[in-house]
Amino acid sequence: MSFLKDCILCLVIATASTVSAEDWPHFLGPQHNFHSGETGLNLVFDEAGPPVKWEVERGRGHSGVVVAGGKVVFIHQLEKEEEICCLNADTGEEIWKHRYAVDVAQSYGIVDAPRSSPVIDPETGLIYSLGNDGDLICLKLETGEIVWQKRLEADFGPSPFFFGYGSSPLVHGEKLIVQVGAEGACVVALNKADGAVIWQNAHQWNGSYASPVIGMVNGEERLFVFAGGMVKPPHGGLLCINPKDGHIDSEFPWRSDNFASVNAATPVPCGPNRVFITEDYGLGGVMLEFDSNFQPRAVWDSPEFGCQFQTPIYHDGYLYGFGGNGGLMLAFDAGSGRLLWNEAFYQTTIQWKDRPIPISLGHAHLIYIDGGFLCLTENGALLRMNLSPGGFEIVSKARLFYAPETWAPPVVSDGKLFINQNEMGSRLICYDVSG
């Protein structure tokens, strides 16, 4: 009997050692690359999906949630106000909220709504949220108390956007880096503690919907900003910036000549000295490599690999993402630019209300977690997949709901999967994927 108890104890210890929870404080994930180190999850589910832990109604917007310290934070639009909301991640119960008035406009028949995701700084316990009208607010995670706030247009000048501000801020060291897109303030670094300006730089390219990200060039940190606003003629591209002082080392033009085009997918660092950028209005994607003077050159490009706002994933030397205005999953060799495979999944169906519905990827998102990939399609299908240079394998598939514009990426933290349903009953749903 003692031997049996010892065996059971060893099994419990061995199993527990493989379980690891992780916060998701930024919309790109804890490592800023849609990779999570969380393990020990149950990501094998039937066509109804993982069990629902809780759900809450929410307003409009494509902003993703962020999670830290057992709290989930998001921003959404309610009538003519924006609301930053903090919930208990285990129960969905409201902890605090902060609401303020905004001007709601529209372009091309699309109503303005928050697109920028908040960011939590675990080091200080502060939250930074950028609203549609440029309300940049720093709050305490525990209480929702405002520490400092700015109105970007008032402080730095206007920026020509199609749908309002939509680039997520970046916490880097003592700095909060924001793509402002104004004349004389293209990118701004603020002191994250009090909002004081540390540096700001000037460039003719205005603000886009892509978020700043850090990569390594010549053994040094560099800030990659994919810029480009609502201007005629359209212009924009990648800026390589020294995050210490804001100096712009180089620029690489990459923007369609279509006025209604936007740069919205975040740059993807692909190892030392390389970064991939992509847009979906004709040019597609391009892999850049920087020389010893921080000047870029195009290594390869692909009009096929055009992502509108879904940021691809770089994993083990390969790029996985979606092209063709969404709807087509692609795998590329990041080194050579060779297309390895593509798949639309139209022949794969999932049962929904007594009838099979084909998978439609649309503007889908990928995250890598616990040894495989999760894919959330834009109309509410969830796939657990193995992706490799040789192809794909669908491990599990589910129809969570059937609604358009599910454009925020999925988030997993501490055994919980968070999904934003944006239309036909807008809600935030928390699923239990704990081991």
pLDDT in single tens digits along all 435 residues of the chain = 443 444 444 444 444 445 689 999 999 999 999 999 999 999 999 999 999 999 999 999 999 999 999 999 999 999 899 999 999 999 999 999 999 999 877 666 666 789 999 999 999 999 999 999 999 999 999 999 999 999 999 999 999 999 899 999 999 999 999 999 999 999 999 999 999 999 999 999 999 999 999 999 999 999 999 999 999 999 999 999 999 999 999 999 999 999 999 999 999 999 999 999 999 999 999 999 999 999 999 999 999 999 999 999 999 999 999 986 668 999 999 999 999 999 999 899 999 999 999 999 999 999 999 999 999 999 999 999 999 999 999 999 999 999 999 999 999 999 999 999 988 989 999 999 998
Is residue 261 within 8 Å of 325, Cβ to Cβ?
A: no
Provide the terminal-to-terminal Cα distance of the chain, rounded to the nearest Å.
28
pLDDT value of residue 332: 98
SS (H, E, C) 137-188: EEEECCCCCEEEEEEHHHHHCCCCCCCCCCCCCEEECCEEEEEEEECCEEEE
Per-residue burial over 249-272, b = 16 or more CB atoms within 10 Å of its CB, e = otherwise: bbbbebbbeeeebbbbbbbbbbee
Q: How far is CA 49 from the centre of its chain?
A: 22
Q: Which residues contact 355 (CB under 8 A, 6 or more apart)?
A: none
For 332, phi then psi, to 5°, come to -125, 145
Please give the Cα distance from 313 to 322 (Å, whole number): 10
CA torsion angle 385 281 270 321 (round to 10): 0
Buried b (16+ CB within 10 A) or exposed e, 366-382: bbbbbeebbbbbbbbbb
- How does strand 170-172 pair with strand 146-151? unpaired
Burial tier of 57 (Cβ tally within 10 Å: 0-12, 13-18, 19+): exposed
Q: Map tokens 């849609």 to a residue.
A: 34
- CA angle 37/340/331 to nearest 5° reads 35
Contact between 60 and 113 (Cβ < 8 Å): yes
Number of Cβ within 10 Å of residue 151's Cβ equals: 13
Query: Sign (positive/negative) of CA torsion 378, 382, 383, 384?
Result: positive
Predicted confidence at residue 327, as pLDDT, reads 85
Domain covering 23-432, topology: Methylamine Dehydrogenase; Chain H (2.130.10)
Report how far residue 65's alpha carbon sits from residue 234's, in angstroms, rounded to the nearest whole number. 31
Report cis status (omega within 30 of 0) of the bond before 30.
no
Please tell me the predicted confidence (pLDDT) of residue 104. Answer: 74
- Contact between residue 363 and residue 309 where contact means Cβ atoms under 8 Å apart: yes
